[in-house]
Amino acid sequence: TLNLEKSTVLVDNLLFVTSTKEQQMVEMVDTSDIQRSIYHDTHYQSSVMVRQEGGNVEVEGIVNHNLRIRPLLEAERSQQGQIPHALFEVSLTENVSKPEQELLRPRERSSRDNSDDNWVNSPQSRSSGFQRFPVELHIVSDKAHQEHFKDNTKLISYLAVMMNAVNLRYLDTTNPKIDFLLVGVTRAIDHEFAPIEGRFIDAGEMISGLELYKSQGRILGHHDVVYLITGYDITKWLARGKRYNGIRGRAKLGTICTHRGLSEGEDRPHGYLGVNTFAHELGHTLGAVHDHTPECPWKEGYLMSYEDGGLKKFRLSQCSERSIRQYVRRLSDDCIRVLNAQNYLRNQRKFPGETI
């Protein structure tokens, strides 16, 4: 039995961009219906969407670390008219990539800028004067990922369930409390962020492609960090056509609220298999390195390790929490403040890079 509580993962008016090679179609999506249906259970790390349709209840999402649920809408209903549901297991393949292959350390660390490319002064370290940091996130769903979702609402709903599960991994953070707020989604219909070979895409080339895509003004609106979610298999090309397939994601270390605030990771649509990678890579952007000290050894298997630590896998180690706290305290007030309260289209008629 799940003890479900209401969740908050979406802004009221979410920026949704449908991006093709020819144009970018921009709309603001009222997320109130989706938001009302998102729930979580902290004990089982459950993140589900609960909807009532015609007196019937539909449940979809993550029951626990390897169990998923979805309604069987085309199946025969019960005598009481209830919609049957399928519970199915997923196989979680652990990421075994080497730390240096996944982490990118930006050369320039002395300045910060926000996602609109306006430079701000490098802030000084401060005391814990704020209790919460809602990190504003924009997700780009690439060609191979977005094609599994027939309409925009289904894509937003799926990403909201994932985002909700990511937030459960950050429940223990304090001074400030960290959670992620989905403020924008880009459905990249036909853009390839790097050359594709079969189902494989190179991790380094893909994040470079994401950086170029952002520099061209194609990721719209205000955000603190960008996450590229891919339906391809991330790899690292080696010599003589060989590849290393142990990579699930990549991120730029300590880059929240800078133009380098970029991260990427694999996901298998409808299976929510990319949640841990998602949470792990966002941890890097918040300044957390891998667990590798005597105080927080790799083998303990917390979120910032690739080892399976059981329930620890869904939590940050005390070292990661401390690193994030120290990093966040140096961020500017503009970064900490939620800047997505207003409607973008009301205040800005045209976005940079928008094609009509």
Say whether 280 counts as a known binding-site residue.
yes
Q: Catalytic pick from 281, 295, 321, 354?
A: 281
Say whether 43 counts as a known binding-site residue.
no
- For 286, how many CA atoms within 13 A lie in the half-sphere containing its CB? 32
Say whether 290 counts as a known binding-site residue.
yes
Q: Is 295 a catalytic residue?
A: no
Cα–Cα distance measured from residue 61 to residue 55, given in angstroms and rounded to the nearest whole number: 20
Cα–Cα distance measured from residue 163 to residue 139, given in angstroms and rounded to the nearest whole number: 10
Binding site members for Zn(2+): 280, 284, 290
Binding residues: 280, 284, 290
Enumerate the active-site residues: 281
